[in-house]
Structure 1
Amino acid sequence: MTVETSALRPSNLALSRKEDFKAFAEGPRRTRPELLTGAQMAALGTQAKAEYDRLRREWHANLGPIKTPQLSELHQDLWDIIDSNLQDGDKAKGAIAVDAFPGLGKTTSVLAFAREFHHREIAEQREFTAQGYERLPVCRVGLTGNTGMKDLNRAILEFFGHPGRHRGTTAQLGQRALDCVLSCEVRLLALDDLHFLRWRNKNGVEVSNHLKWIANEFPVTLLMIGVGLAGKGLFSEGGSKGDAVLAQTGRRTTRLGMRPFTIEKEKGRQEWRQMLLALEQRVVLADKYPGMLADDLSDYLFARSTGHIGSLMTLINRGCQRAVRSGEEVLSRDLLDGVENDEASEEARRELEAALERGKLTSKPRTARKKAV
């Protein structure tokens, strides 16, 4: 069933289907709600106030992506590799593995890149191919822990909505997937959650071999996203027979990571402050003020997030939702103390918070500390 792009709502998209991914890539960016004062909000009627709060709920739940140094570094590397992968079809293209800890914004950053790549390809090559097929520069597939070769082929066909995705052998499904990729001139095949695979069992080796077949036969750049891929053997040499097979994929794969925010050095503190200043600009609360995050809550937010952008965005999002709902209309330590964050951040919080409070660490760069004094 074909769904018109304009009918798809951003909150109801599954990026493993082409219509949804196209809506994500081509849909308009969200518009920040107008920042009203407390008096202006009080003057709103009941219905208008409810609508304003709904717009703010949706806005605060979708504050990203923010162009952090980490995102910019990853995008530069991705452009380098993909632009260098313009070899003719008789040559295998280099693959990419974005391998980093959870909460560092891997998927968000890759999707932001995929959106930009989609726009560039459509602008340069137009919306339809020379044969009249819909041009789809990006195919995005999510994997599960039980994914085998047949499941992977079926997932690719599911993205295209191919009528033959529910029947056929592994080889037949693979050839149909290749036909779709060629017809729609896909140039980037993104496989998300690659860590869900159990690499050292039979399915893992099969999929690794299948990835090599895709790299050889599909005119695409293979972009794999996961956690701990090196530890799972994707880049391994030696060891068991299975490891040696998996290592062949590593020979063709460039590993890219994403780093957390750190505050041991001045450069890291400056990056953290810029991140908080960017977030301040996006928050839509009546009583927000300059320095609300970057000055008054800098150390507190670093302790609560441990420098992981995913944890920070979760905390700010939930804090804003509570500030709107409660009518406080500002982010403060008292309000955020009542907001729960992810378990990993809460577990790591105590020791870091103690070091910050004792003055052994600070998240504020020298210029901000001098200004405070």
Structure 2
Amino acid sequence: MTRSRGDVFEGDDRQYSPTRLHGWLQLVNGSGRVRPELLTRAELAALSTRELVRHNDRRSVWHANIGPIWTPQLRGLHEDLAEIVESNRHDGDKAKPAALVDAYPGLGKSTAVREYGRTLYREQITLRGETTADGQRRVPVIYIALTGNTHIRGLNAAICRFYGLPTSGDADTLAERAVDAVLSLKTVAFIIDDVHFLAGSRGSSMRMANQLKFLSNVFPVTLIYVGVGVRQRGLLREGFSPEQTLFAQFGRRTTPLTLRPFTVEDEPGRQEWRTLLLTVERQLTLADAYPGMLADDLSDYLYARSTGHFASLMALVNRGCLRAIRNGHERLDSELMNQVKNDAAAEDARTELVAAIEAGLLTSRPSAHQTARRPA
């Protein structure tokens, strides 16, 4: 909610780091944003300069934080994660099976897993209460993100840093400190993002497997790993050499999950894409927005420019809305969107998709909606 105090306007920016307990609690317990009022052009023109600036500020932060959008991919991932976590009621002497969410960049996997962590955290608090039996704060889920070339000590330090514990000492000291926190605060799940950094640019899959095995042996929690290309490193591979045996052990304890991009090669895929665009466009607060602005008139265009990747799509729409507000255009169309820059990966793949669409070899629009587009 926008915070005003006298003539002070704070807006609704929420700056925090979910890799610290204080920031994670802001994410978990934060209230939903209130959508800014949708004003007509006449109503915008009637605002004073100060009122207009503040209204546009509210619109900008709203468009930057649309979501979560409950796509079929997100729902499926949450169901799979819940099944793994809720079945992990093993005693402390047994290793709990882990989950590995491994997908291409730009599909929203980190956002999706954080949202699951938020849901799980709230469910645990509802079930068991905010405090433990000895009066400490209950912290059911923690979230950490790794950096390049992380070693075991760095892993343990990241866990301690999340809890607000000292990060001095060797790897074993940090591990003991972190385990004490897990047990006393009743943590049931770790979300470990960017797990592919464990191998480092010069590291080996063997070292990564050792570190992940260490985590599962030391911490009595469900480990939810998030990364890119982790399976390709061979971590879930079985074999007979000592290295492959370690991989096989990790593979037997880990369930691989993924998020798929939106594809439009068949009718169900095109319908999914249309549903997503309809959902997004209903959230936009542009004076000249209209039903079908995205889902009909910009469907192929947005698919070509995002390649069906959720993060690329949302970045494009967010920046387009900002430009439309700043220049008074108040709607999205291809002329305005052509001025908006997007991520390199999406732009690199754009030319081939545009050619296929223009040649009639590909369309993102379901057959029932392949009608003439609204004139500009």
Answer whether TM exceeds 0.5 for this pair. Answer: yes
Give the conservation status (yes or no) of the 8 Å contact 2:199–2:208: no
For residue 86 of structure 1, report the CA deviation from its aligned partner.
Answer: 1.3
The Cα of 1:237 is off from its aligned counterpart by 2.7
Q: Note if 1:349 corresponds to 2:350.
A: yes
SS at match of 1:223: strand
Closer/same/farther in 2, CA of residues 362 and 346 from structure 1, 3 Å limit: same
Matches within 5 A, 1:161-200: 161-162=164-165, 164-165=166-167, 167-198=168-199
Tell me: CA distance 1:200–1:286, structure 2 relative to 1, closer, same or farther (3 Å): closer
The one-letter amino acid of 1:327's match is G
TM (norm. structure 2) is 0.92
1:119-171 superposed Cα distances (whole Å, 9 cap, x missing partner): 10111111111111111111111111221111111110000011x32x22211
User: 1:330 and 2:331 equivalent?
Assistant: yes
* Alignment gaps of 5+ in structure 2: 1-9
The one of 112, 116, 125 equivalent to 1:113 is 116
Paired residue type of 2:92 = G
Q: Which runs of 5+ in 1 are unaligned?
A: 1-6
Q: State the partner residue of 1:54.
A: 57
Q: Which residue of 2 aligns with 1:223?
A: 224
What does residue 249 of structure 2 align with?
A: 248
Task: For 1:1-373, list aligned pairs within 5 A.
Answer: 11-162=14-165, 164-165=166-167, 167-198=168-199, 205-238=206-239, 241-369=242-370
Matches of 2:212 and 2:185, distance apart in 1: 20
Decide whether the 8 Å contact of 1:269 with 1:363 is kept in 2: yes
Q: Distance in 1 between matches of 2:119 and 2:78?
A: 10
In the TM superposition, residue 41 of structure 1 has moved relative to its aligned partner by 0.7
State how far apart, in whole Å, the 2-side matches of 1:203 and 1:255 are.
Answer: 20
* Cα distance in 2, alignment partners of residues 248 and 277 from structure 1: 45
- CA contact 1:71–1:109 (8 Å) conserved in 2: yes
User: Any idea what the Cα deviations from partners look like across 1:272-330, whole Å, max 9, x if unmatched?
Assistant: 00000000111110000010000000011100011111110110011001001111000
- How far did 1:368 drift? 1.4
Q: What is residue 3 of structure 1 aligned with on the other side? A: none
1:25-83: CA deviations, max 9, x gaps? 10101111110101001111111111101101101111122111110110110111111
Q: Distance in 1 between matches of 2:47 and 2:140?
A: 45
Residue 239 of structure 1 and its aligned partner are, at CA, apart by 8.1
Say which SS state the counterpart of residue 208 (structure 1) adopts: helix
Instruction: Give yes or no for contact 1:200–1:243 (8 Å, CA) kept in 2.
Output: no
- Identity of paired residues, percent? 49
Letter in 2 for 1:339: V
Number of residues of Structure 1 aligned to a counterpart in Structure 2:
364
CA contact (8 A) 1:200 1:242 kept: no
Amino acid at match of 1:157: C
CA distance in 2, matches of 1:231, 1:199: 14
Deviates more, 1:316-325 or 1:214-223: 214-223
Q: Distance in 2 between matches of 1:31 and 1:273?
A: 25
User: Under a length normalisation based on structure 1, what TM-score does the superposition of the two structures give?
Assistant: 0.93
CA-to-partner distance for each residue in 1:179-215, whole Å, 9 max, x for gaps? 0111111111011001122269668645533432332
Shift of 1:245: 2.6
Distance change in 2, residues 1:202/1:360 (3 Å) = closer
For 1:98-119, what per-residue CA distance to the aligned partner results, in whole angstroms no more than 9, with x for missing partners?
0000011100100111111111
Paired with 1:199 and 1:285, the residues of 2 have a C-alpha distance of: 44
Root-mean-square deviation (Å): 2.0
Deviates more, 1:242-251 or 1:34-43: 242-251
Distance 1:309 1:200, change over 3 A: closer
Could you tell me how far 1:372 is from its partner in structure 2? 6.7
- 1: CA distance between counterparts of 2:57 and 2:115? 25
The amino acid of 1:315's aligned partner reads L
Confirm or deny: 8 A CA contact 2:304 2:353 kept in the other structure.
yes
Query: Helix, strand or coil for the counterpart of 2:370?
Result: helix
- Matched-pair contact (CA < 8 Å) for 1:149–1:203: no
Contact 2:20 2:162 in 1 (8 A): yes
C-alpha contact (below 8 Å) 1:233/1:247 kept by paired residues? no
Structure 1 residue matching 2:233: 3-state secondary structure? coil
